[in-house]
Amino acid sequence: MKFLFLLTTCLVMNACTAPASIAGSAVKLSQAKQKAARAEGMAYMMFLRMGLMVAYIDAGNKVLSTMDCADARLGEPRPLEILKVTQCKAQIISYKEYTIAAEFNNGFAFVADQDGVRQVEAAQLPVLK
């Protein structure tokens, strides 16, 4: 009798939909991980953008040809926890003309330039030579 009461209560209260709520939680978790990865990529690019400006000033406002983002002149960003950099290049001609292009292991790609930092498709990354 108690079992029947619990079963009825469960069905009436719609508490027996655990698989659907678990699936919903999995989707929310996946979305949260993507947002965290995107935020980490944006923060990394903003740090490099700041470091590139400092390197430009330290070089006496001279053109800095294409360099790897791991170059010590750009500073040492906080280690990435979610993403891994697969390729990253930076160059600066003046404080009004610079580009940083980075691609990460999960397919995210970002560009930082005088227009700001933005996420792009990997195929849209500028080739820095």
Q: What is the mean pLDDT of residues 71-93?
A: 93
In this structure, are strands 64-68 and 109-113 parallel, antiparallel, or unpaired? unpaired
Contact indicator for 102, 126 with CB cutoff of 8 Å: no
Residue 121 has pLDDT above 90, yes or no: yes
3-class SS at 126?
coil
- Distance CA(90)–CA(108), nearest Å, equals 17
> Can you give the residue ranges of every domain in the chain?
18-124
CA 16 to chain centre: 37
pTM attached to this predicted model:
0.76
Average of per-residue pLDDT values in the chain: 85
